[in-house]
Chains A and B, each alone.
Chain A
Amino acid sequence: MNALLISLELAVVGLGLAFLLLDLWTPAALKRQLGYAAAVAVAILFCFSFFADPSYVRFAFNESYAFDPLALYFKRFFLLAGAIVLLLQVEFSDRIATGISEYYSLTLFALAGMMFTASATNFAVMFVALEVVTITFYVLTSFQRNNLLSLEAGVKYLIMGGLSSAFMVFGIAFVYGSAGTFAFVEILANSANLAGNSIFLIGLLFVMIGLTFKIAAFPYQMWAPDVYQGAPAPSTAFLAVGSKAAGFVLLLRIVYSVAPNVFHQWTPVLLTMAAFSILYGNLCAIAQTSLKRIFGYSSIAHAGYLLLGLAALNASGASAVLYYLTGYLFTVLAAFAVLVIALRNVDGDEMDAIADLGKRSPLLAGALTLAMASLAGIPPLAGFIGKFLLFKAALEEGVRQPGFYLVVAVAVIGVVISIWYYFGVIRTIYWPRHRSEMATPIEVSPPMKIVLWGCIAGMLFLGVFPALPLEFAEQAVALLSRLR
């Protein structure tokens, strides 16, 4: 057993505890600045993670925790997202009445939970790690305690989260009952026999339904718009990027290394989920006027695109999912960074609040425009290459299952619909219907400038030079598909 493998997670948990304690000795005026220290510490951990050798699998705790290329890829992903979200929180901190240090600490705990999910190779560990993430998010989403919408978001997230956890526990119980073990490796070894066991299949289905809650995909997508709208913007950003990625790393593991033969047969199920998510998300987003609700619905649609790559069940599909998520990280965090800054003095998040943003701050307007274009999948941005890879992986499987052609067609229609509302945001930035009354220039603080330029660079780099990041993604899933 090699307990040192969890050193990254331990460091993040330690950081979280340290900031809780530091809060006691920090003067009130400086408490907000603690977030910068937390972000820097997480960034250092991110750099530190590159010393780890990602080329082979190491197990710990009776093979319930794996330190493999996929886990390392996602740990880096979460650390990067965590560092940026912490910076957003500092920018947001003037809108949080009390307990700002707890806000930072909870984010760190959620981050640690996500990093554990990246390595979970055992249903028990998976459940515990997911609950760490979900429970911290109950608090993070309702952190603006004097804002009704935020409280409503927290309650909704709690109820839906509780329901999905129930599904998952129920499913895990079924799986354990039929397989006699929690470990992914042992179930995989026995999967040929289990594939005919209906108890096992029901269990697996329930686990998957529970996971669709994390990724906000059909049939568990209802909560996304409300929670996205109500939660404080940095929490929403972390929810959109981190929580979704945590769901996907678990789905990847379960689909590829628990029962690939079962999911091979279930391709129509995955495809149906993808198609409904894409259509639901994109169609509902058209009518929205609240920016965060648009992101809520669009996040459902993006979960659908990602499910398409997952359903492909081939190496290019898995690496496309990783690539897409990485592009999504930069894109969504750029958009939320803009929202955090631009909505500072605004009540709510109606579209009119960013009217004339092009005149008030060219940097913010440019970053949001690029983010929208990337989400819409327009070259030369990350979203285009990501969608290209996902659709290509799906079409590759068209021979096996003609349904892929149909769902790719649905996805293409979804992309066209999405252009309508993404361009609606861009139009409001530059050519608003109603001119904004407070056309005052917006100052952007230096840390936010770093975040914005970093995200812009990330979007462009992934769009123009895909060779290197794609190689990373392929390496990360190489061992995964060999398990198949």
Chain B
Amino acid sequence: MSPLTYIICWPLLMAVLLAFVPRDYRFVMRLGALFATLLSLLIAVKMFVQFGAAPLDPSGYKFVDQFEWVKSLGISFYVGVDGINVGLILMGAIVAFAAACVSWEIQHHEKEYYILLLVMTGGILGAFASLDLFFFYFFHELALVPTFIMIGLWGRGTERNFATFQITMYLTIGALLALVGLVALYLASGQQTFDIVKLTAHFQSDPLKPETQNFIFPLLLFGFGILVSLWPFHSWAPLGYGSAPTATAMLHAGVLKKFGLYGLIRVAFPLLPQAAQSWVWLIAVLAIGNIVYCSWVAMRQRDLNLLIGNSSVAHMGFTFLGLASLTLIGVTGTVLVMIAHGLLAALTFGLSGYLYQQTKTLDIRQLGGLMRRMPFIGTALVMAMMAGCGLPGFANFAGELLVLFGAWNSLPWFVVLAAWGALLIGAIYMLRAIRDVLHGPQTNTQLVLTDANAWRKVPFVLLLAALLCFGVFPGLLVNKIKPDAARILKMVTGVDEIPAAKAVAIVEQR
């Protein structure tokens, strides 16, 4: 069996096992969740390392596994990776383990919490590994429903109920729109299969009529777009993340949110190439909305979590801009930003969650001088904020730079706006937050604040290490992403940006 199947199954299996553990055994629950996510992480790392040498399946994917599920509908459990999702799955596994680590803050209903966390993890990893449209969607929903429940049950803040309701409504509508689009694709193909590989091949040789494409594409664009908080459908994100328990915010903002982008790259663009080309201008405009508008909004926030949430929405603009550029460099940058931002969002939400546990507030006006009292958390927060501004050395810099380079030729003015919006405004609010929260006069002096101990440092160190590793050696990811990004772009634009011979050479190299 493929390592992918194990990566998906371990958390789900552990969720089933935990259901039979009596609810007093808190420690067992926590240990089980940590064990399952660690196991998935280790297998994901091993898969990532072995990716280059692994044999290529005729379908063009590696580590492929396929089991029939409903034959009459053409649905099968079908997993596989190429350069685009191998990094995403590794990132997802890292964030999942980190999320299990920070879950010590949960103090009631631990059993339900850990079961939901594991189901969410399995769903997320499954969604990114699936090569079957039905399971692709199914796993995403499997991860989405626990998100709502976790925000409702273990969320914080006065606006928790409203946030739960808002995020449920927005994301359900987005998912349903995408589902209608996916079913329409399935029916339009007439192939009686949900197999993405077969559908891609079919639409390559026999593309849909432009009218049909233009009918289905907006369903997928806005369905997936709502899931990624595409401006102006983003308002669920800051409040939802602000009210979510730490681990849920980490997993959703970090990984699950990227599902929509992944869907656009994997399904919408290659299967509906003509429509994609005629809609990219809109994507570019909305991406600027994300970057400029949401950065602006972030600048006015008084709550650290809302600030991070808005800046996370702003960063999504880069991914859309890279996609809209339809260049190899841009799309490669998009995937890189997806991975980098996943790690970064998990890190910042993890840190703000830790701060909240200590200070019981995230109002920036009530915080101050925390660096002296929590040196580790403070340093990590500075690094995270710097990564968010696009400081070289972190993976975000590499990704954002590629996006800007890639988009320069086709969309120069957008690049200018994006650079100003994100890098300048981003620097303003990030640096201001650092100044107010970490430096300056100390507040809350009556509170006893403790810095993270060795155990609690683990998730933050892990995420920082991954960010730095991919920032210093972006080639680890870029060399994997590039050939497959070129393959997908060729389907969209018909232009071969890496001639076939060279692509083969790169594939053999890695």
- Stretch from A80-88, A279-287, A373-381, A442-450 contacting the other chain: A373-381
Asked if A1 CB lies within 8 Å of chain B CBs, one says: no
User: For the complex, what is the distance from the CA of A419 to the CA of B183, rounded to whole Å?
Assistant: 21
User: For this complex, into which size category does the number of interface residues on chain B fall?
Assistant: 20 to 34
From the candidates B142, B168, B180, name the one contacting A379 in the complex (CB within 8 A): B142
Closest Cβ of chain A: how far from B178's Cβ, in Å?
11
A378-B141, A379-B141 known; A416+B173 contact, CB < 8 A: yes
Q: Report the minimal beta-carbon distance from B284 to chain A, rounded to whole angstroms.
A: 28
A186 close to B (CB within 8 Å):
no
* A391, B470: Cα distance in complex, Å: 43
**B176 adjacent to A474 (CB under 8 Å):** no
Which residue of A398, A427, A467 contacts B70 across the interface (Cβ within 8 Å)?
A: A467
Residues of chain B contacted by A223 (CB below 8 angstroms): none
A392 & B138 in contact (Cβ 8 Å cutoff): no
State how many angstroms separate the Cβ of B163 from the closest Cβ of chain A.
13
Which residues of the partner chain A approach B180 to less than 8 Å between Cβ atoms?
A: 391, 395, 408-409, 412
Please indicate the chain B residues that have their CB under 8 angstroms from the CB of A379 in the complex.
Answer: 138, 141-142, 145
Which residues on the A side are within 8 Å of B142 (C-beta)? Answer: 379-380
Interface membership of A177, Cβ < 8 A: no
Chain A at the B interface: mostly helix, strand, loop or mixed?
A: helix
Could you tell me the distance in whole angstroms from the C-beta of A456 to the nearest C-beta in chain B?
A: 12
Q: CA separation between A388 and B73, bound complex, in Å?
A: 11
Chain B CB within 8 A of A415 CB: yes
B54 at the interface (CB under 8 A from A): no
A395, B184: Cβ atoms closer than 8 Å: yes
Within 8 Å by CB of B169, from A409, A416, A466, lies A416
Give the distance to chain B from A467, nearest Cβ to Cβ, in Å: 5
A470 within 8 A of B: yes
**B141 / chain A contacts, CB cutoff of 8 Å:** 378-379, 384
From 390 to 415 in chain A, residues with beta carbon under 8 angstroms from any chain B beta carbon are 391-392, 395-396, 398, 408-409, 412, 415
Is there an interface contact between B152 and A474, defined as CB atoms closer than 8 Å? no
Check B72 for interface membership: any CB of A closer than 8 A.
Answer: yes
Contact with A along B84-104 (1 / 0, CB 8 A): 000000000000000000000
Known: A416-B176, A423-B168, A471-B72. Is A373-B183 also a contact (CB below 8 A)? no
User: Which residues of chain A come closer than 8 Å to B138, judged between CB atoms?
Assistant: 379-380
- Say yes or no: B152 contacts A427, CB within 8 Å: yes
A373–B141 Cα gap in the complex (Å)? 12
Is A431 on the interface with B (CB-CB < 8 A)?
yes
B176 touches A431 (CB 8 A): no
Is B172 at the interface (CB under 8 A from chain A)? yes
A444-484 interface code vs B (CB 8 A; 1 in, 0 out):
00000000000000000000001100110010000000000
A430 vs B173: C-alpha distance in the bound complex, in angstroms? 24
List B contacts of A378 (CB < 8 A): 141, 145
A-B contact pairs, 29 of them (CB 8 A): A378-B141, A378-B145, A379-B138, A379-B141, A379-B142, A380-B138, A388-B183, A391-B183, A392-B187, A395-B183, A398-B187, A408-B180, A412-B176, A412-B180, A415-B176, A416-B173, A419-B168, A419-B169, A419-B172, A423-B168, A427-B152, A430-B152, A431-B153, A466-B70, A467-B71, A470-B70, A470-B73, A471-B72, A474-B72
